[in-house]
Amino acid sequence: MKHELDSLVIQMYASSIPYEEAVREFRRRYIQEVLANHKGNQCKAARELGVHRNTLSRMMAELNLDPSQIRLGLKRPARSESAAMHSLRMVRSR
């Protein structure tokens, strides 16, 4: 796992992805995964993330995460996330 993350960071840096964008995409994907694991239940996800539910709601709004899509299991990535996920797949295939 650590090796995959290291490879992804190296690839993102080599692709000149700005730090803020890299952090934003990581946060977005991580929160999306926790929410999906709890079927969109923000209270349970917030507890697992160690934040207040209101803080999680604010973070979701900042990251443009739609709770209704997560609840329905429609985890279609945003366009910017698609590029990051494509990079991750390329790293994993090596």
Token pair listed for 67: 């709770």
Measured CA to CA, the distance from residue 94 to residue 83 in angstroms comes to 17
- pLDDT by 10s per residue, the chain, length 94: 888 889 989 999 999 999 999 999 999 999 999 999 998 999 999 999 999 999 999 999 999 998 777 777 644 556 666 666 666 666 565 5
The domain locations on the chain are 19-83
pTM over 0.95: no
Alpha-carbon distance values, 65 to 19, 55, 56, 84 (Å)? 20, 13, 10, 16
